[in-house]
Amino acid sequence: RRRAGAELSALAKGRSIAMGGSKTRSHKRRRLPTEAALAAKAAAAVEAAETPEPAAYVRPGESESGAAFELYYRAQRILPDGSNDDEDAWSAFLGQLRRPLPVTFRFNESAHLSTLCAEAMRTGMRLLDPCGAGVEVPCDESGRPLRMPVRLRWCNGWQLGCSASILKRPQHAYWSELNDWLTRWAALGVLSRQAIDSMAPVSLLNVAPHHTVLDLCASPGSKTQQLLDAMHADPATAPTGLVVANDFSPFRARMLVRRCAALGRAAARCVVVTHAAQHFPDVSGRVGSHGEGAYDRIVCDVPCCGDGTFRKNPEAWNHWRPSFAQRLHGLQICIALRGIALLRVGGEMAFSTCALNPIEDEAVIAQILHATGGAVEIVDVSDRHRLLRRRAGLKTW
């Protein structure tokens, strides 16, 4: 300890010398390199020049991680029934993972934004639906029509015909104009850029204006915004509920506050807190006294390996390992069980991940059902948002 303290003192003194005025300078002896050192340096430079620069990331199937990914999920048989032994189905699945993810967004449905939403739709319809607006579809340099957006009616959203990288570096005037339109209305809180998979959990919860809602792992805040939006969607009913948005990181919580503030007065029904989700406090005291929590709806979007987002983050292919899911499995169960403890009797919780791995999905749900001894049941939501494509989960893995 004394030695460490002495070293710190020496470092502090060295810093004061280096940062002192013009009269105080630090001097070091220069050592001239030997001929052997110069020769080694020259050889290293030649070797570096002959070695090709590694790619930023490797596409699936072209690296050890990509091969392990395919081998693992073939063993898990995650494709629909009847497709797991079909090589064409696997080629189509892996080919889809190689394609960049299209940009998606939804219009915020808060009643106080209805006028702005109508204005945004009026000015943007020629970009979103040229045929419907009576405008000619733009074409590329070869004369082929550009891929146009597709409407997602189940979430009041749109899926664009391009990825985020094309919007950032537009090569066509149409993409540039569309990006300007998106940026303008997103800054006003009229629309929110959000992936389709991120929209689904909140959309299926049927949040009402009087509900008390908990978002256990809220950052970066797209689901929290969606919860507030749903709470303010009915112009005839003033919201009396509350959204509690939690994130373990104070830094991410500050980002969450700024993002929710873009919704204007709708953010008045939101509280941002920082707790470890698996130990989220029972501020109402109802868990101990009544055996149930105070929340009508809970969004439990737990930390995961994220291998369902490879289309958006292709560089993650280089780092994927099957062990990631095993490391997170216990934490996911703890967070989900804490969420269920905080839920009212008759309430609903949406458990979600960004992972394809059944160890992080079906296995967690199976453990929750086993641990709660019949106090929890899976809700059939096939009658909600019928336009949302879905299929049943795995029963073996």
In the numeric block, which tokens belong to residue 274? 């920082």
What Cα–Cα distance (Å) separates residue 386 from each residue in 60, 196, 202, 204, 306? 32, 15, 15, 11, 26
Say if CB 396 and CB 387 are below 8 A apart.
Answer: no
Nearest Cα to Cα of residue 66 among 35, 97, 102: 97
d(CA 337, CA 62): 39
Say if CB 277 and CB 238 are below 8 A apart.
Answer: no
In the numeric block, which tokens belong to residue 118? 């109508």
Nearest Cα to Cα of residue 331 among 367, 376, 296, 307: 367
**Residue keyed to tokens 């503030």:** 261
In the numeric block, which tokens belong to residue 177? 């104009």
- Of the residues 117, 260, 300, 354, only one is catalytic, namely 354
Q: Strand pairing partners for 351?
A: 300
In the numeric block, which tokens belong to residue 214? 């908990």
* Catalytic residue flag (residue 217): no
Catalytic residues: 354
